Amino acid sequence: MQSAGLAAASQHSNEYPIPESMKAWVLGGPEQLSLVEKPVPQPGPAEVLVRIDAIAVCATDIEIIRHGVPAMIDGDLPFEKGFTPGHEYMGTVVRLGPTVDEFEVGDRVTVEVHAGCGRCQRCREGMYTSCLNYGYREKGHRANGFSTDGGFAEYAVNHINTLAHIPDEMSDAEATLIVTAGTAMYGLDVMGGVIAGEGVVVIGPGPIGLMGVGVAKALGASPVILTGTRERRLEIGKKLGAEDVVNVGREDPVAAVERITGGKGVQYVLECSGAPNALNEAARMVNRGGRICLAAFPSDPVPVDLAYLVRNNIYVFGIRGEGKSATHRAAALMAQKRFDAKLIHTHTFPLSEVPTAIRYARERIEDAIKVVVQIREN
């Protein structure tokens, strides 16, 4: 913390000299990333310049680099536009835009991805990840790493609404995981968020699923049950708070949930696997009137037993990213050390090795879960 006032601010500015240009990875055609020099961007009103200290690789980055979507720039795919991908970053505020007094130079922050446009119905409702002007910069839409420049670079401009303070004792790498925990939090939010004492099944021990276990447990859910195929990840799930884990290679997950809950089923399922039959299985894990949130999806259309959903009054939600300030709530739980997100961080690379970091994440080399690029040593 620092004292307020101009003297302090200018003192801190000197501490963080800002060059005119920076290193940044840009996307050429599909799968073509190159490291270039770009001008350091300037923050406008309600924005700050963030010196990026670390960034985590997300499965969505891999999608964007290969297929373009869900990134979109002015209604078009993000190829050959000098676009910098990457969205799960944290860093240090080094310059304030005009009128900004919500943050100070020197503040350590993590970012959520979507600023939205601030003018459409969804943004006004707090559902800025579902902005109706998504991808249209002239309408004011910003989602760094999706429709505006992201974080595989030394600096980025962020709207102040996308920043959350992080405590000094939290490492850079851990702070990059907050947005992933925020996505899990948003999934639990949209299902109603009333989970203390209720059973929650998390399907799929990927990064969002594992953070879902941590968040559900921190919010008082019981039992928290994690299902998956990889024993090592299920073990991490236990450390994050899962009372029961089910290896679906050994036991049918629906039968296992029935066994664990004494035939009652659970109130909520957070589906994070994208497996073709996951929704049908989730429907048979929840009790009548239960709720399912889909945070992942199969790449092809799949058959769903709709009659079962309707007859049993089962609610199905889909989420896109992390809306309604869920990232801030996740950051609060992590600042309070309610679960140890660091358990999912498996590998670290420097900025010069972003393609290697992405390859580790994509091919799950050495069972990589979260791969972090440490851009600057503090």
Q: How far is the CB of 186 from Zn ion (least distance, A)?
A: 12
Query: Could you say which residues in the range 92-151 bind Zn ion, by CB under 5 A?
Result: 116-117, 120, 123, 131, 133
- Contact (Cβ atoms closer than 8 angstroms) between residue 239 and residue 215: no
CA 222 to chain centre: 24
Query: Could you say which residues in the range 252-291 bind Zn ion, by CB under 5 A?
Result: none
Q: How far is the CB of 143 from Zn ion (least distance, A)?
A: 10
Residue (20 or 138) nearer to Zn ion, CB: 138
Q: How far is the CB of 11 from Zn ion (least distance, A)?
A: 35
CA dihedral 158, 192, 206, 155 (to 10 degrees): 0
Residue (151 or 290) nearer to Zn ion, CB: 151
Number of residues that bind Zn ion (CB under 5 A): 8
Q: How far is the CB of 114 from Zn ion (least distance, A)?
A: 9
Q: How many CB atoms lie within 10 A of CB 344?
A: 25
Q: In sequence order, what DSSP letters do the residues of 165-189 get, joined into one string?
A: E--TTS-HHHHHTHHHHHHHHHHHH
Q: How far is the CB of 87 from Zn ion (least distance, A)?
A: 6
| Beta-carbon contacts of residue 90 (< 8 Å; ≥ 6 apart) | 52, 53, 54, 55, 108, 109, 110, 111, 166, 172, 175, 176, 178
Residue (133 or 273) nearer to Zn ion, CB: 133
Residue (123 or 341) nearer to Zn ion, CB: 123
Residue (18 or 46) nearer to Zn ion, CB: 46
- Contact (Cβ atoms closer than 8 angstroms) between residue 145 and residue 86: yes
Q: How far is the CB of 130 from Zn ion (least distance, A)?
A: 8
Residue (123 or 175) nearer to Zn ion, CB: 123
Q: Is 224 in the site for Zn ion (CB under 5 A)?
A: no
Q: How far is the CB of 94 from Zn ion (least distance, A)?
A: 24
Residue (120 or 293) nearer to Zn ion, CB: 120
d(CA 331, CA 315): 28
Residue closest to 66 by CA, chosen among 29, 26, 24, 25: 29
Query: Could you say which residues in the range 154-183 bind Zn ion, by CB under 5 A?
Result: none
- The set of long-range contacts for 123-127, using a CB threshold of 8 Å and a minimum separation of 24, is 126/323, 126/324, 126/325, 127/323, 127/324
Instruction: Tell me the residue nearest to Zn ion as measured from the CB.
Output: 58
d(CA 32, CA 27): 6
Query: Could you say which residues in the range 55-74 bind Zn ion, by CB under 5 A?
Result: 58, 60
Summarize as ranges the residues that interact with Zn ion (CB under 5 A). Answer: 58, 60, 116-117, 120, 123, 131, 133
